Structure 1
Amino acid sequence: MADPILISRLRCPECGHEEDMEMPTNACMFFYTCTGCGVRLKPLHGDCCVFCSYGTVRCPPIQEGDCCNG
């Protein structure tokens, strides 16, 4: 299996601010506060983390097929 991609670009649905972030490899990130507008993002229904909902790359646990919700 290939190594997971660790950088994802989060895009805030409120203000459109984008930020490249390194994802944790052993956990899902449930909340993120946008540095553009301050809104607190949480995963959309059915997603395990903010990267799966708002990122360009799904979280490493999902990529590896070993996620708490996957």
Structure 2
Amino acid sequence: MTIPVSIITCPECGHSETETMPTDACQWFYDCKNCGTLLKPKKGDCCVYCSYGSVACPPIQEGNSC
């Protein structure tokens, strides 16, 4: 079962936000709603949810690649 929601945490200010992830694609950018920092995936990760989220993105959860 795929978990569609992740808590994404900004590495700059520590702000956390609950977001619904796209189910058919990876999200490469995310603007922190607190400090405005543009988050990008860490090297080796496919998306911002895999880097900064509480749950990996749906394609990864399903065993696929982005």
Structure 1: 4+ residue segments shifted above 2 A: none
Q: Give 2:6's match in structure 1, choosing from 8, 14, 34.
A: 8
Alignment partner, residue 58 of structure 1:
56
In 1: Cα distance, 2:19 partner to 2:55 partner: 10
Which segments of 5 or more consecutive residues in structure 2 lack a partner in the other structure? none
Q: What TM-score, normalized to structure 1? A: 0.92
Q: What TM-score, normalized to structure 2? A: 0.97
In 1: Cα distance, 2:51 partner to 2:44 partner: 9
In 2: Cα distance, 1:32 partner to 1:67 partner: 20
Over aligned residue pairs, what C-alpha RMSD do you find?
A: 0.6
Aligned length: 66
Which has the higher Rg, Structure 1 or Structure 2? 1
